[in-house]
Chains A and B, each alone.
Chain A
Amino acid sequence: MTPLVYDGSFEGMLTAVKLVLEKGAKGGEILPVEGSEELLFGGDRVATSEEAARALLTDFHCYAGKRGLRLLLLLFLADTAPRERLIRDYIRVTMEQGKDIGGWLTHPVVAEAVRTARRVAHEAHRFTGLLRFRQLADGSFYAPFEPDYNIAAALAPHFARRMGKERWLIHDRRRDLGIFWDGREFVPAVLDQKVENPAVSDRENFFQECWRNYHRRIAVEGRRNPTLQRQFMPVRYWRYLTELTRT
């Protein structure tokens, strides 16, 4: 079967999955358009159909429930993993079984899907704590980060609840994507590297310095344990952690 190429959207991918499942054949590669350049003979371009996507989701929801939908969404954020294959196979096995398979952890398809979704959820939870905002000269807040998965959109509602009055931007520098909150609603943004070092507000450096000092002071010298610290706070995230960077 020729690989199917979709537009990169969740609906587009579900349309492609539906086509593959209707053909009934095993396999059936699905690729987003940005990842399809290396295909030798190109692939069949799938026209995204919201209707088809919704029909598939409705059927899937009957068996897998809310928890199943959440799993699909988490998998879709795992853009550095083989997410199309995971989603396709997970939906296929669910349909074949005619029931929720979320707990069937010994099934290879379920095991891989659940493990991947868990990683995405874990990283998103981690960044509700590890994301660092800085206040810019215009009073808004800016938070750059480089997550393993595409979780900016999953984080945004958390910070909208928390900092609804402020204006802020979460910037995924690995993907050059951003989500801007203007105080009332989200505005998705495609960004480029130029926003590297925007000017900060007058008191920003003072609070950063306070935080760095606090972070140093709060450690008990007799119990130094940098290995443990790294286990919770992997070094690959350090670049944007105010307390671990020097100005």
Chain B
Amino acid sequence: MFLNTAQKLDILAASAKYDVSCSSSGSRRRGSPSGIGSAAVAGCCHSWSEDGRCISLLKILFSNVCIYDCAFCLNRRSNDIPRATFTVDEVAELTLEFYKRNYIEGLFLSSGIWRSPDDTMECLAKVAETLRFRHRFNGYIHLKAIPGADPNLIRRAGLAADRLSVNIELPTEKSLKLLAPDKTRQAILHPMRQIGEGIVENRAERKKFRKAPSFAPAGQSSQLVIGATPESDLQILHLTESLYNRFSLKRVYYSAYVPVNADSRLPALRQPPALREHRLYQADWLMRYYGFRAEEILTPSQPDLDEHFDPKTAWALRHPASFPVEIHSAGYETLLRVPGIGVTSAKRIIAARRYARLAVEDLQRIGVVLKRARFFITCGGRYGAEPKFNHSPERVRRELLTGSKRASDANQLRLFG
């Protein structure tokens, strides 16, 4: 059957939607007069779909034909679904035309494994090369690196793309064996290591020679499925932490498992575990921006994230000795550990206290949300609110719990989907 571009787009967008990443950040490309496009370090969202997720990149599969049969995946070999494969020029044209209309910031291209990992990787690299070198496209390009592909192909992909990613899929080798029998842990980690090393080398090179070609300047990321297998949150956070530290990943994405296949190896869920996913992202943020280590967030005796409290509040409730924090003297890192005070609030407090003494009401005025923070701070020696946390941590716990009951879980989730 012959499909036109629009029909293929229909099929291959629907097939790509379970990939979570859509970030367009981390790369700076200047526009050139003869080419098209530029990339900003902060990234840019262009639209939001009905599920509330941001759309920043044209996120499609090159092909949804796949030789693998992973239990959790819509595109697995044994599913009877419409299949399609783009041509290199079709993808390039859609990207450029969407880009000119300011629908998107660039392209996120993934693919089912058709024929072989090498064939697939070569097509992805070709699309990126066509955009970058033939059309002189300076927008953002994110490519999937295909496990098992020739390292030379991955190298080519990295020289044309801004970001590369390899999905780690499942947190442990055992789960991988069960649900994705065609993939091995080793085959997944191998390209991650190659990309990680490539990025580090390239950075050093570009310090010496400014004009050296860049290799995946926006770094690499990965994604894993949450809730399809029995791993604890602690196992997941440890894995994440080692990915950040050992392969210098920029981001790890978590995807609450959405049942798309009937398969006896999979749990029967009525709803995707969205709250768990949300808590994992909060913990992830704590590790990347707030200086927390995985072992501070969770312990073997408490291996799962609390449903009722965000991970920072849960940490604070376990550490009454670290509180209260005095707003006028605490350093940036200490302020960041206060529940409810984030990067923006901490910076504002530090700026504002250079000019004047701050009372609790002043904090509210400069935009600090006090709902949780008030129990954990003092302003000029005065507690932000009763009950005093280091006198009666139990009462504060109860107070916070009833507060969060009032704003129901559904409501809390609204912010992050």
Contacts and interface: CB of A to CB of B under 8 A. Distances in A.
A133 B98 CA distance: 10
A161 interface: yes
Contact of A211 (B33, B101, B358): B101
A80 B46 CA distance: 25
B16 interface: yes
A128 B13 CA distance: 24
A105 B365 contact: yes
Nearest to A226: B50
B355 A223 contact: no
B45 A129 contact: yes
Interface residues of B, number: 59
Interface residues of A, number: 56
Contacts of A187: none
Contacts of A214: 9, 13, 58
Contacts of A226: 50, 52
Contacts of B94: 210
Interface string A185-214: 000000000000000000100110111011
B16 A218 contact: yes
A107 B355 contact: yes
B352 interface: yes
Given A210-B9, A232-B54, A106 B365 contact: yes
Q: Which of A125, A134, A203, A223 lies at the interface centre, i.e. has the most chain B CB atoms within 10 A of its CB? A: A223
A207 B98 contact: yes
Given A141-B100, A162-B37, A218 B355 contact: no
Q: Which of B14, B101, B105 lies at the interface centre, i.e. has the most chain A CB atoms within 10 A of its CB? A: B101
A24 interface: no
A241 B415 CA distance: 22
A166 B51 CA distance: 34
A166 to B, nearest CB: 7
B355 A165 contact: no
B179 interface: no
B337 interface: no
Given A129-B46, A222-B258, A228-B417, A162 B366 contact: no
Contacts of A32: none
A48 interface: no
Contacts of B102: 129, 131-133, 143, 159
B220 to A, nearest CB: 23
A164 interface: yes
Interface string B354-379: 11101000100111000000000000
A209 B274 contact: no
B33 A165 contact: yes
Contacts of B5: 210
B36 A220 contact: no
A111 interface: yes
Contacts of B1: none
A223 B51 contact: yes
Nearest 7 pairs of A and B residues by beta carbon: A228-B52, A103-B351, A225-B52, A161-B31, A219-B49, A104-B355, A105-B366
Interface of A: 101-107, 111, 125, 128-135, 141, 143, 159-166, 203, 206-207, 209-211, 213-229, 231-233, 241-243
Given A216-B50, A220-B53, 8 more contacts: A128-B44, A132-B101, A133-B101, A164-B31, A217-B13, A223-B274, A228-B417, A243-B103
12 contacts: A104-B355, A134-B101, A163-B100, A210-B9, A215-B47, A218-B17, A219-B17, A222-B271, A223-B52, A231-B52, A233-B48, A243-B103
